[in-house]
A and B are shown apart, each in its own frame.
Chain A
C-alpha cells in the first residue's frame, strides 16, 4: 500500500499517544472497533466543564497505518474545540486531510465514531453527576454505531 506523506508522518510521529484517567469526571472515553476486525481505537477527551472546551485528547489504536493516522489526526483536531465543534468533525474531513485511499475509508469512519463515543461518554458522566449518582463510568465496554461496511 502506497501512503501519503501525511499518513506516514502521523504513523512515524503519532500525536497524543497515551491515556487520560478514565474515572476522572471530566474525561470522556470512546472505544470503537473490534480486535477480530483488525482495528480498535480508544480515544479520550478531557473537557473543561466551565467552557465546554476540549483541553486535552489522547488515543491508542490497534490497527493499520491509516487507522493510527486517523486517530492521531483526530486528537490533534479535538484539542481547543468545543464539544459542539468536535461533534461536527466528519470522516470525510479526515479522508481529505490524509488522502486516505478508498480501501481505507472505514478507518476515518471509525475515528469519527471514536470522537462521538468519547463525547457521549463525557456527557453521560455529566448527567449522572447532575442527577447525583455519578461515580464515573470506567467499564471497558466498546461503544459506537455499527458500520455497514466490512472493515479490515
Chain B
C-alpha cells in the first residue's frame, strides 16, 4: 500500500523533522496556509514520483502566489492521478540535499539501507552515473540498526559536524521501517539546513499489504488502489481480479497459471478480458468468481483452465458448473482441467454441462479466442 506525501510525513513526523505544512483542497486554503506559514512550496498530492517535472510543485512567496499555484496544480493529471489536494509546506533553508532509504532487499533477503550525498536526484541515475556517491548497507534484522553502525554507513562521506545528526536520522528511519512493516521508506531529499538540522523534504512510503492487519488504522491513511466496479466487487469477495480490455474471459487457478492462460490468449491472437485467480485459499469460491467474469459486458467467450495442485479441480469445477447452471449464460465456454481431482472434474463437466473438456490447454484457449472473434 502506498501513501501520499502528506500521509507519509504524518507517519514519520515523530522520528524525523518535517517542514511545517498544511493540506489544502482549494486555492483559498492555499492562500490561507501561506498567510500562516510564510513563503512555501505548493506540492501536488499524488502517489507518484517526478511531480516537479510534471508541473506539480511550485515555490511561492505570497498568499496570492499560493492561490495561483494551487489553481494551476489542482485538477491536473500526474501519471494518471488527478490532483485533488496540495500540500503547502514552509520554505526550508537548505544547506545540502542528501538521500536516505530503507527497503526490503530480495538479494540479501533482509533490510537494505541506502544513503547518498546526491539528494534530490533519481537514485537509479545516481547509482548509474556516480556510484561512489551511493552506499548500500545490509542490516542484520536480528540486531537492527544502532547509532554506531549508522555512523559507519556514513563513513567515507564528508558530512562535517552533521554526521551524528544524520546517523540518528538513519536509526530513526530504520526503526520506523520496522514499526510500520514498510517495504520502502525513502526520503529524497533529506535536507541539511543552514543551522545543522536534518529535515525530510519528501517521503515515499510503501507498507506491506500482508502486514496491514497488525497495524490498525494504517490502511485508512494510505492511498486506495483505483479499482473498477468489478475489481471492487472482486476485492470484497477476497478474489484477485484485474479487469483488462479484451473479450476472452479467463478463469484459472494459481497466479502463474492464470498469467499463462492470459499469455496463451494473446499468443493465439485474442485479448484477455481479465486476470482472475481462484487458487490458494480462494479455490472454493468458483461461483462468485464466475459471476464476476460474466458481469463484464465485454466478455464474448470464456476459457476455464484448471491445473490442480493445492486447489482441487473437482471442487472448483463443481462451483463453476453450479454457477453456470444457475446463471445460464449465453456465451460459449471451453474447459481444460488437469491435476488434483481431474477425473472427477472432467466427468462432472461432461455429465452436467454436456461439454467435452479439451485435453490440451492450448486447444481450449484457441477455441475460446476463435469463438470471441466470431461473436465480435
B is a partner of A: no
Chain B interfacial positions (CB closer than 8 Å to A)? none
